Chain A
C-alpha cells in the first residue's frame, strides 16, 4: 500500500531530447507528489511537485503529468541538457496520524544526457 514504483531504472537521452520518468502508486490517501533531483554526494533537491486535483504542472523545462484514475504520474524534462544528468526520485506523501508529512520514495532513475 505504501510502495511507489518508478521506471526506468536508468535512462540515456541525447542533448535536446525529452526525458520521461514514470511512477505508479497504490495508496489513494497520498495527497502530494514531489520529484527530487539528486547529484552524487548531495542531498535530494525538490524539483517540482503536484497535488492530485491537478492533471499537469509545468515549471520551465520540467512538467509533471498526473493521472489520478490510473494512479500514475510522470516527469517530463524537455530540451534535456548534460547538466540535467542526475538521479531523479519520485515520491508520494501523506500526513500521518501524528500530523507528520511522510514521503515514500521510488527507487530512482539515473538520467544521463549525452552532449
Chain B
C-alpha cells in the first residue's frame, strides 16, 4: 500500500455531466499527479500539482481541471463528460515534483 487514497472507487455518470474525483497524498508528499488509464492501455499523464499550482500538463483538453489544497490533497474535475472519458483515473503522489511517484488504487469512471 502506498498511502495514496482515492474516492470514490467507482462511479457512473451520464454523457455531458461533470465529475469530481478526490485524492489524499501519502504523508510527507507535497506533489500530486493524475493519470488516465483506459481499459487495456497504459496510464496517460493528465497533469501535476505542486504548491497548489499546476506545474505540468499532458495532452488533455481544458475540460480536465484540477485543484490542490494546502494539505496537499487534490481534486480532478472533468466537465462535459464524453463516452471516451470512461477509464481508471489514477492519482499519484511524490515527495517533490521531480521525484518518484506512487499510485493510489484509482477511481473507475464509467460514462453512459
Query: B42 is contacted by which of A34, A49, A89 (Cβ under 8 Å)?
Result: A89
Query: B100 is contacted by which of A6, A34, A41, A102 (Cβ under 8 Å)?
Result: A34
- In B44-101, the 8 Å CB interface with A consists of 44-45, 47-48, 50, 54-56, 58, 88, 90, 94, 97-101
Inter-subunit contact A101/B48 (CB<8 Å): yes
Query: B33 is contacted by which of A32, A44, A97, A100 (Cβ under 8 Å)?
Result: A100
A12 to B52, CA, bound (A): 45
Which chain A residues lie closer than 8 Å to B2 at the CB level? 43, 45
Tell yes or no: A61 within 8 A of B by CB. Answer: no
The interface size bin for chain B is: 20 to 34
Which chain A residues lie closer than 8 Å to B41 at the CB level? 107-108
Inter-subunit contact A43/B103 (CB<8 Å): yes
The interface size bin for chain A is: 20 to 34
Query: A44 is contacted by which of B48, B54, B99, B103 (Cβ under 8 Å)?
Result: B103
A57 to B90, CA, bound (A): 27
Which chain A residues lie closer than 8 Å to B44 at the CB level? 105
Residue ID in chain A nearest B43 by CB atoms:
A105
Inter-subunit contact A107/B104 (CB<8 Å): no
- In A10-60, the 8 Å CB interface with B consists of 32, 34, 36, 41-46, 49
Tell yes or no: A114 within 8 A of B by CB. Answer: no
Inter-subunit contact A101/B40 (CB<8 Å): no
Inter-subunit contact B48/A108 (CB<8 Å): no
Inter-subunit contact B48/A100 (CB<8 Å): yes
Given A102-B58, A105-B43: A44 and B98 within 8 A (CB)?
A: no
- In A75-115, the 8 Å CB interface with B consists of 89, 91, 95-108
Q: Mind listing 13 A-B residue pairs with CB under 8 Å?
A: A41-B105, A43-B2, A43-B105, A91-B42, A95-B97, A99-B50, A99-B55, A100-B47, A100-B56, A101-B48, A101-B100, A102-B48, A107-B42
Chain A positions near chain B (C-beta within 8 angstroms): 6, 32, 34, 36, 41-46, 49, 89, 91, 95-108
